[in-house]
């Protein structure tokens, strides 16, 4: 449907993934991670958190590529929503890395600002796609929706008084003796 390389949001997410990859591989090589009291255990934990960050950062541009390969506009929109979710996942893993002491405050702040920028760009792209698809804003869709009860409730109402054998005789209820 669309060439992903023409999307600024893909370029920025790809650059972010590369930067996270470089940054976490340097930490993994021993420039600070794992040199505390825990030794090898700290290094293993830092390597694991780094691997999760790299995976989460790569997921954003990958989902953008997949969304751009979609055959229909609704599938493209779904891909963009999934990429937005991936940015949120990356932002959480980034926060976890900072709170776990694997990522220092300054690199965290820079990466978090870039993730926030990606989220804003994807939000704008999602709004544009929705408008092109003719989707009404959520509030308008909810106001226009019929106010009928859920289908399960209608089935439950219809089933009242129907016995397990399929007959519709009223069930006899035991009398309370209080």
Instruction: Give the tens place of pLDDT for each residue, 65-124.
Output: 999 999 988 899 999 999 999 999 999 999 999 999 989 999 999 999 999 999 999 999
Q: Is residue 154 part of a domain?
A: no
List the domain range (segments joined by +) for residue 8. 4-136
- On whether the CB atoms of residues 13 and 118 are closer than 8 A, the answer is yes
Has this prediction a pTM greater than 0.75?
no
- The number of folded domains in the chain is 1
- Dump pLDDT digits (tens) for 14-57: 999 999 999 988 655 554 444 445 567 788 888 999 999 999 99
Q: Is residue 16 part of a domain?
A: yes
Q: Is residue 145 part of a domain?
A: no
Q: Is residue 47 part of a domain?
A: yes
Q: Is residue 117 part of a domain?
A: yes
Cα gap 128→9, rounded to integer Å? 14
Q: Is residue 78 part of a domain?
A: yes
Q: Which residue has the tokens 């993730």?
A: 115
Q: Is residue 160 part of a domain?
A: no
- Report the CATH number that the domain containing residue 67 is assigned in CATH: 1.20.1440.60
Q: How confident is the model at residue 6, as a pLDDT?
A: 94
As a dihedral over the C-alpha atoms of residue 93, residue 98, residue 104, residue 109, rounded to 10 degrees, the angle is 70
Q: Is residue 169 part of a domain?
A: no
């Amino acid at each position: 449907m669309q060439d992903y390389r023409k999307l600024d949001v893909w370029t920025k997410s790809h650059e972010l993934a590369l930067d996270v990859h470089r940054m976490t591989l340097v930490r993994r090589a021993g420039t600070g991670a794992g040199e505390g009291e825990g030794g090898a255990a700290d290094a293993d934990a830092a390597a694991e958190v780094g691997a999760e960050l790299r995976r989460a950062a790569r997921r954003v541009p990958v989902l953008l590529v997949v969304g751009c390969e979609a055959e229909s506009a609704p599938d493209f929109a779904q891909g963009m929503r999934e990429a937005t979710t991936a940015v949120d996942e990356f932002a959480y893993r980034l926060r976890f890395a900072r709170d776990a002491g694997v990522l220092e405050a300054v690199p965290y702040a820079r990466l978090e600002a870039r993730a926030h920028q990606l989220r804003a760009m994807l939000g704008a792209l999602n709004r544009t796609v929705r408008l092109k698809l003719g989707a009404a804003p959520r509030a308008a869709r909810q106001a226009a929706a019929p106010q009928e009860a859920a289908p399960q409730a209608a089935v439950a109402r219809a089933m009242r008084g129907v016995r397990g054998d399929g007959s519709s005789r009223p069930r006899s209820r035991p009398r309370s003796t209080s």
